């Protein structure tokens, strides 16, 4: 019987990832702050439910985590029942969250001090790819561990990259999401300008798709934006978090990011009202501007 895999965090992304792991031959021990998510996995797939994040680590050699923010990470990783208290020699933690490079380095230091191994593995992709098993893993940290968990990456994704020491995976993810967030902001402004010009917006999306700017995001999100459908796949508040990380990284490295800084301001304006909707809801702010 294969060793069980641990999984901490069954939110928008984690649930799909965990389901792909278990349907592709892995037995799971799961934990989530909202126990109803763990119970759903136990009912549907027979997964074992741990009583704490610490217990997941203690019972598994390899544990994946997918948490949404630094605050969530601190709440789950730290404290007497936190995941990091379960680390002992030989234990392996793979953190798939999008956090700052500095936060990932701090986590690695704690894991190494306790005799464990650590890999950061933030993902490119949202709810749909998580459910479909087509995520892209951007990894930094222990290269031997990267090789060991390739079968699990392949169960959850379509590609995985080893980018060097811890921090490099997070930096790559920040750059990727910065570009994506900027593209969405520009699409939102284009649709807002098209609407104000009384242009047929469905035609605009088709014209974009027929030219050099064709891309899956515009193709998928454009019609939904036109119909006012911002059903969440990637929450706007998380896109704003990632834009903030990008601007901060630019400040640290002396790289000017005026377009991304402006996009960040658009997401900040949208966050209060639309933070829990899809990041495409930045359109609602664009169309309100006069």
Between CA 64 and CA 146 the distance in angstroms is: 12
Between CA 7 and CA 28 the distance in angstroms is: 7
CA neighbor of 29 nearest in space, from 37, 38, 20:
38
CA 167 to chain centre: 15
Quick one: tokens of 35?
Answer: 């126990």
For 140, the 3-state DSSP assignment is strand
Between CA 131 and CA 24 the distance in angstroms is: 13
Q: How far is the CA of 47 from the CAs of 7, 19, 22, 30, 33, in angstroms?
A: 10, 10, 8, 7, 16
Max Cα–Cα distance, the chain, nearest Å: 64
CA neighbor of 12 nearest in space, from 184, 100, 129:
129
Q: Annotated catalytic sites, by residue?
A: 173
């Amino acid at each position: 019987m294969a060793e069980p895999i641990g999984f901490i965090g069954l939110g928008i992304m984690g649930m799909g990832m965990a389901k792909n792991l278990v349907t592709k031959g892995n037995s799971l021990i799961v934990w989530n702050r909202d126990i109803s998510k763990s119970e759903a996995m136990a009912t549907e797939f027979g997964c074992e439910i741990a009583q704490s994040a610490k217990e997941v680590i203690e019972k598994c050699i390899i544990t994946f985590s997918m948490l949404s923010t630094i605050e969530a990470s601190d709440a789950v990783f730290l404290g007497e029942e936190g995941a990091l208290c379960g680390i002992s020699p030989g234990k392996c933690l793979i953190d798939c969250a999008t956090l700052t490079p500095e936060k990932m380095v701090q986590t690695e230091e704690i894991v190494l001090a306790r005799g464990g191994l650590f890999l950061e593995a933030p993902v490119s992709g949202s709810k749909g790819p998580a459910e479909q098993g087509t995520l892209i893993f951007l990894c930094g940290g222990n290269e031997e561990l990267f090789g060991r968990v390739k079968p699990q990456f392949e169960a959850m994704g379509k590609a995985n990259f080893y980018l060097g020491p811890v921090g490099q995976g997070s930096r790559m993810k920040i750059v990727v999401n910065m570009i994506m967030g900027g593209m969405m902001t520009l699409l939102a402004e284009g649709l807002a300008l098209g609407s104000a010009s009384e242009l047929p917006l469905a035609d605009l999306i088709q014209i974009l798709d027929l030219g050099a700017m064709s891309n899956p995001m515009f193709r998928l999100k454009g019609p939904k934006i036109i119909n006012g459908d911002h059903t969440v796949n990637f929450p706007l508040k998380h896109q704003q978090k990632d834009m903030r990380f990008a601007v901060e990284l630019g400040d640290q490295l002396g790289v000017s990011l005026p377009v991304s800084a402006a996009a960040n301001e658009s997401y900040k304006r949208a966050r209060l009202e639309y933070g829990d909707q899809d990041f495409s809801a930045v359109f609602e702010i664009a169309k309100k501007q006069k």
